[in-house]
């Protein structure tokens, strides 16, 4: 059997009991390590699981999936995913390949940023489409996500923005030359996401209207689910300058349908409570 197992958000202890029992039954254990990261080292997982872990980078998952599935008809194999297996990135290709080979697949779910973002106090059913924001380069500044944000804003929904990570990535030059030289890992911060958001807003605004400008309300979160998680609410300009510490970060754009109960929780996370109250009164009619 192939187990697809969610690990949760923070450390080795976030795995479910069902997931842990499955891991301990497996002959090989792979850890997907390119769509997200846990906040502990691999050796802590190995100590708890009492199993060696094979790191599965993008290249292995996308190009060498047969190695992961090898003998999975006879042996149990685990494929571990940070968060929930189908939370932010679906590993459907691996599942499809397994089923084509007659391998039984079982998924064991866990918490992900998609539901843990409720820690901000915003109600999950008030969220619209989730978007992913990638690092801009000098020559590539993709903005297709802006249309999803605009659609959410028109309905008053909140938007969860998942921020880019670059792990084991090659430069264009090294890729072109076929050199297996990788760039240092990079993780987008809330500050970078806000900066890119404001840049695209300035270019894409409709009839002079900004959906999310300097004075718009947003929430930055970091390391959700950990003991040192950070949640800060304020204007985009305030978030641009706020310190959120180590990765992973996410950004939430607050929609116009903000409920009074949601606003009450946000006050506890305010960078500047007086400024937050001013924005709540001005934009949402909440005093």
pLDDT per position as a tens digit, 174-192 = 667 777 777 788 999 999 9
What does the alpha-carbon distance between residue 1 and residue 26 come to, in Å, rounded to a whole number? 9
What does the alpha-carbon distance between residue 210 and residue 202 come to, in Å, rounded to a whole number? 8
Confidence of residue 170 (pLDDT cuts 50, 70, 90): low
User: Is residue 277 within 8 Å of 267, Cβ to Cβ?
Assistant: yes
Nearest residue to 217 (alpha-carbon basis) of 151, 150, 271: 271
Measured between alpha carbons, how far is residue 234 from residues 24, 42, 263 in Å? 45, 35, 11
pLDDT per position as a tens digit, 148-169 = 999 999 999 999 999 998 876 6
User: Is residue 266 within 8 Å of 276, Cβ to Cβ?
Assistant: yes
Q: Which two tokens stand for residue 79?
A: 């494929």
Give 249's DSSP letter: E
pLDDT per position as a tens digit, 235-264 = 999 999 999 999 999 999 999 999 999 999
């Amino acid at each position: 059997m192939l187990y697809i197992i969610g690990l949760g958000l923070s450390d080795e202890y976030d795995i479910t009991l069902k997931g842990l029992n499955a891991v301990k039954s497996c002959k090989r254990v792979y850890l997907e390590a390119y769509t997200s990261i846990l906040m502990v080292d691999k050796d802590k997982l190995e100590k708890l699981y009492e199993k060696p872990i094979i790191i599965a980078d993008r290249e292995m998952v996308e190009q060498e999936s047969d190695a992961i599935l090898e003998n999975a008809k006879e042996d149990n194999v685990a494929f571990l995913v940070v968060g929930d297996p189908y939370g932010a990135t679906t590993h459907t290709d691996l599942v499809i390949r397994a089923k084509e080979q007659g391998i039984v697949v079982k998924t064991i779910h866990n918490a992900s940023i998609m539901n843990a973002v409720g820690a901000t106090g915003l109600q999950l059913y008030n969220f619209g489409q989730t978007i992913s924001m990638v690092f801009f380069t000098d020559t590539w500044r993709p903005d297709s996500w802006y249309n999803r944000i605009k659609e959410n804003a028109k309905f008053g929904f909140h938007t969860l923005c998942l921020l880019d990570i670059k792990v084991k990535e090659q430069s264009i030059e090294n890729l072109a030359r076929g050199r297996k030289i990788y760039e240092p890992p990079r993780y987008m911060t809330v500050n970078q996401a806000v900066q890119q958001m404001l840049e695209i807003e300035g270019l894409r605004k409709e009839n002079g209207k900004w959906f999310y400008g300097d004075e718009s309300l947003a929430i930055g979160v970091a390391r959700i689910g950990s003991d040192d998680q950070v949640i800060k609410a304020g204007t985009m300009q305030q978030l641009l300058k706020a310190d959120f510490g180590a990765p992973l970060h996410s950004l939430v754009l607050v929609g116009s349908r903000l409920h009074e109960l949601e606003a009450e929780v946000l006050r506890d996370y305010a960078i500047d409570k007086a400024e937050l109250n001013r924005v709540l009164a001005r934009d949402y009619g909440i005093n």
